[in-house]
Amino acid sequence: MKIQKVNLDYVLGVNSELPKTEKPEFVLAGRSNVGKSSFINAFINRKAYARTSSTPGKTRTINFYNINDAFYLVDLPGYGYAATGPVEQEKWARMINRYFDRSQQIEEVIQLIDIRHDPTALDLEMFRYITSATGYEPIVILTKLDKIKRSQVKKQIETIRKALNATADCTMIAFSAESKQGLDEIYRIFDTVLDTNQLT
């Protein structure tokens, strides 16, 4: 995977119409602050193309990043961000449902989970939701790898796999947006998916 061109094609608010897209979509889901936007920046090799913040709730739109005119990385707003209030959260839940329901282009769903902790109740709910709404088992990216000791990595991956009740072939990749560990493997997966489906 070589990143040649990136463009933020669509930014959807909570009431926006869904765009009629024609490229395969790789959707990123994960709780607020888990590192979705940081993942995108690492993936596209830019420092701050996607806005990141240590304050949860930075991304409050659905962002479609057009990569190489070949596919979209779709950044969903983080779930579990309470400060917006229950009404706003409910609206977003409906918008995200609508997106999963209507999009014909979803190729893979990638769920980001913090490698340091057990999955939260919302992480578990999202994992199950993705499986039922898209029919795909999500690819799981375990973020903030640089924040745990190397000796803990294997154990954490297995703990999280168990908690999710994920099958042995559910792909899980430990990743750091700081050190870029895991990125080559992620590129390989994208390449394989795009090649297999002759999408490029």
Chain positions contacting Mg ion, by CB under 5 A = 36-37, 58-59
Exposure pattern of 161-197 as b/e (b: 16+ CB <10 Å)?
A: bebbebeeeeebbbbbbeeebbbeebeebbeebbeee
Q: Which residues lie below 8 Å from residue 15, measured CB to CB, with a gap of 6+?
A: 91, 95
- Among 103, 109, 58, 98, residue whose Cα is nearest residue 81: 58
Task: Give the shortest CB-35-to-ligand GTP separation in angstroms.
Answer: 3
58 near ligand GTP, judged by CB under 6 A: yes
30 near ligand GTP, judged by CB under 6 A: yes
Q: Of the listed pieces 5-13, 48-56, 151-159, 165-173, which binds ligand GTP according to CB under 6 A?
A: 48-56
Q: Taking CB within 5 to 8 Å according to partner kind, which of Mg ion, ligand GTP, none is near residue 23? A: none
Task: Give the shortest CB-59-to-Mg ion separation in angstroms.
Answer: 3
12 sits in which H/E element: strand 6-12
Q: Which of 178, 184, 191, 195 binds ligand GTP (CB under 6 A)?
A: 178
Contact 176, 144 (CB under 8 A): yes
Residue whose CB is less far from ligand GTP, 24 or 35: 35
66 sits in which H/E element: strand 62-67
37 near ligand GTP, judged by CB under 6 A: yes
Task: Give the shortest CB-56-to-ligand GTP separation in angstroms.
Answer: 5
